[in-house]
């Protein structure tokens, strides 16, 4: 979707099958590592317009555990988004429904102008998964360097 004028960096614990397009790169990394934002930035030509996180932990089947782990990953992704996004940038992240979700959404609302809960058609209706769409990183939430690389 970005086309060759954009750049996409994929991050996963497991190797991702390489893409043929030269503007798509992937790295193996853990998004919970403390220096992950710097690692990601070192591969980017500029601050990103969008941070999109579909990461999910291995499912245990214990609902409270899976929900808490998912919110923890989503929280880590939001810190990455706040550190990396250009001012006004957008963030999209997978969450599981549960007790911790409202607090997480409040944090996202503090940082972004507009926040919506989205259930894409591709997500099974019986699944507790849904996505938070956060538009417009508020000023003061991002470094302002245009080209930090
Ligand atoms: C639902 S799958 C994502 C599928 C992907 N969107 C796709 O279309 O192929 C969740 C992924 O999150 C990754 N993941 C889980 N914890 C992670 C972490 N701490 N850091 C990076 N990736 C992680 C898993 O390795 C897994 O590939």
Q: Which of 129, 101, 98, 99 is nearest to 115 (CA)?
A: 101
Give nearest CA residue, ligand 1 atom 4. 54
- CATH code assigned to 8-137: 3.40.50.150
Q: What are 103-128's pLDDT values in tens digits?
A: 999 999 999 999 999 998 888 888 88
Q: What is the pLDDT of residue 15?
A: 97
Task: Return the residue whose CA atom lies nearest to atom 7 of ligand 1.
Answer: 54
pTM of the model: 0.92
Pocket of ligand 1, beta carbon within 6 A: 11-14, 30-32, 54-57
Q: How far is CA 12 from the centre of its chain?
A: 12
For residue 69, pLDDT beyond 90: yes
For residues 59 and 61, what is the distance between their CA atoms, to the nearest angstrom?
6
């Amino acid at each position: 979707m970005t086309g060759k004028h954009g750049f996409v960096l994929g991050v996963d614990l497991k190797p991702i099958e390489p893409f043929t397009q030269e503007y798509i790169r992937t790295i193996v990394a853990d998004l919970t590592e403390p220096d992950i934002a710097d690692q990601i930035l070192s591969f980017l030509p500029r601050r990103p317009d969008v941070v999109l996180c579909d990461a999910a932990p291995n499912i245990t089947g214990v609902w409270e555990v899976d929900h808490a782990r998912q919110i923890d990953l989503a929280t880590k992704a939001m810190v990455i988004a706040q550190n990396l996004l250009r001012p006004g940038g957008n963030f999209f992240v997978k969450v599981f429904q549960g007790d911790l979700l409202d607090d997480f959404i409040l944090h996202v609302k503090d940082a972004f102008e507009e926040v919506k809960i989205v259930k894409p058609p591709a997500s099974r209706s019986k699944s507790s998964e849904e996505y938070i769409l956060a538009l417009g990183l508020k000023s003061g939430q991002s470094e302002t360097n245009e080209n930090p690389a």
